[in-house]
Chains A and B, each alone.
Chain A
Amino acid sequence: MADKIWVYIDQFNGEAIPSSWEAIGAARVLADQFSGGVTALVAGEQVKGAAELAVQYGADQVYFCDDATLKDFRAEPYASLLSGLAKEHQPEVILFPTTSRGRELAAMVAVDLKTGVLPDVTALEVQDGSVIATRPVYGGKLLTKAVCSTRPQLITLRVRAFPTPEADSSRTGNLSEVPPAVSEDDIQTKVVGYTESSGRVSLNDAGVIVSGGRGVSNNPVLMPPEDMDENEIEIWRAQQGFKLIGDLAEVLGAAVGASRAAVDAGYVPYDHQVGQTGKVVSPDVYIACGISGAIQHQAGMRTSKVIVAINKDPEAPIFKMARFGVVGDLFEILPHLTEAFKNRLSS
Chain B
Amino acid sequence: MKIIVCVKQVPDTAAKVVVENGQVTWGDTPLVINPWDEYAVETALLQQEAHGGDVTVISFGGEEAKEALKHALAMGCGNAILVSEPELGNADSLVTSHVLAAAIQKIGDVDLVFFGRQAIDGDVGVTAAQTARVLGWPAYTLVSAISELDPGNGSIRVERSVEEGRQVVEGKLPAVVSVVKDIGDPRYPSFMGIRKASRAEIPIWSVTELGAEVSEPVVTWPEITNPPKQEVVTEIVSGDSSKEIAESLAGKIIEEKVL
> Which residues of A are interface residues toward B (Cβ below 8 A)?
12, 17, 72, 74-76, 79, 99-101, 103-104, 106-108, 110-112, 114-120, 135-150, 188-198, 202, 204-205, 207-208, 252, 263, 269-271, 273, 276-278, 284-285, 294-296, 299, 302, 305-308, 319-329, 332-334, 336-337, 339-341, 344-345
Contact = CB atoms under 8 A, between A and B. Distances in A.
Contact of A111 (B97, B125, B236): B97
Interface string B205-222: 000000000010111111
26 contacts: A74-B169, A99-B163, A107-B130, A110-B126, A111-B97, A116-B93, A116-B219, A118-B219, A135-B123, A150-B218, A191-B167, A191-B168, A195-B159, A195-B166, A196-B165, A197-B164, A198-B165, A277-B35, A306-B258, A324-B252, A325-B237, A326-B238, A336-B245, A337-B246, A340-B251, A344-B254
A326 B244 CA distance: 12
A-B residue pairs, 4 tightest by C-beta: A336-B246, A189-B171, A107-B126, A116-B219
Given A112-B133, A196-B166, A337-B250, A139 B13 contact: yes
A207 B36 CA distance: 28
B182 A270 contact: yes
Given A12-B164, A120-B123, A324-B234, A143 B133 contact: no
A324 to B, nearest CB: 6
B168 A110 contact: no
A202 B14 contact: no
Contacts of B259: 207-208, 252, 284-285, 345
Interface in B216-253: 217-227, 230, 232-238, 242-243, 245-247, 249-253
A321 B230 contact: yes
B245 A333 contact: yes
Given A147-B220, A189-B172, A108 B123 contact: no
Contacts of B221: 144-146
Contact of A202 (B93, B139, B163): B163
Q: Taking chain B's interface residues, is the majority helix, strand, or loop, or is none over half, making it mixed?
A: mixed
Interface of B: 11, 13-14, 16-19, 24, 35-36, 92-94, 97, 120-127, 129-130, 132-134, 137-142, 144, 157, 159-172, 175, 180-182, 215, 217-227, 230, 232-238, 242-243, 245-247, 249-254, 256, 258-259
A291 to B, nearest CB: 15
B256 A306 contact: yes
A323 B232 contact: yes
Contact of B17 (A107, A135, A142): A142
B249 A324 contact: yes
B121 A137 contact: yes
Given A103-B125, A306-B253, A202 B164 contact: yes
A190 B170 contact: yes
Nearest to A330: B242
A208 B256 CA distance: 13
A273 to B, nearest CB: 7
| Residue of B133, B160, B254 with most chain A CB atoms under a 10 A cut-off | B133
A329 B97 CA distance: 50
